[in-house]
Amino acid sequence: MKIKIFKHNPLFKNKLLLIFKQYPEIFFDGDLKTIKRRLGQVFEPIYPKFYAEIDGQPVGFISYFKRDSSEIWFLSWFAVDKFWQNQGIGKKLMAYVEKQIAKSPISRICIETVWADNEVVRKTNAFYEKCGYQRVGLIPDYYGKQGSKAFYYKDLGTVKLSKKDK
């Protein structure tokens, strides 16, 4: 199985949107509107977006951005097709983005995500911890009945890059 990663191509927007729709525990109705808009846009240097492909089909998506005046990157809109879960695609997308970020002057990454008592959310948060992110905060009931908001954090500056990653 060969996983390839490419800069986002809006041609795949409908297929990628279907992946986000597989996870209503994480991506709520309001999010889907924003995701749809983002997927319709081409690759923008201020909001880098990438997708993973297997045999010519998109199987995952990841993006990141920086807020004005902040000295930290935010990971956003990240998902892997349920059919392809647990096969290393998420880790590969994350490593790809971290490699891009490591080349930028800002090495810190924040992830804002859902915190709730269900299997999908538990898996996501376990995934971030496996990737070396530390949970640094929680806002209870941020999403009302749908859950709380957790903040994960990692400073790539404290992670040694191998020669080939530089």
107 binds ligand COA (CB under 6 A): no
Nearer to ligand COA, 81 or 156 (CB): 81
User: Which residue in the set 44, 72, 123, 161 belongs to the binding site for ligand COA (CB under 6 A)?
Assistant: 123
79 binds ligand COA (CB under 6 A): yes
CA distance linking residue 142 with residue 146, whole number of Å: 8
Q: Is 156 helix (H, G, I), strand (E, B) or coil?
A: helix
Q: Is 164 helix (H, G, I), strand (E, B) or coil?
A: helix
User: Which residue in the set 8, 113, 133, 156 belongs to the binding site for ligand COA (CB under 6 A)?
Assistant: 113
Cα R_g (the chain), whole angstroms: 15
Q: Which residue has the tokens 């880790």?
A: 91
110 binds ligand COA (CB under 6 A): no
How many binding residues for ligand COA (CB under 6 A)? 20
CA distance linking residue 101 with residue 162, whole number of Å: 15
Which residues sit at the interface with ligand COA, rule CB under 6 A?
Answer: 23, 26, 78-80, 85-91, 113, 120, 122-124, 126-127, 130
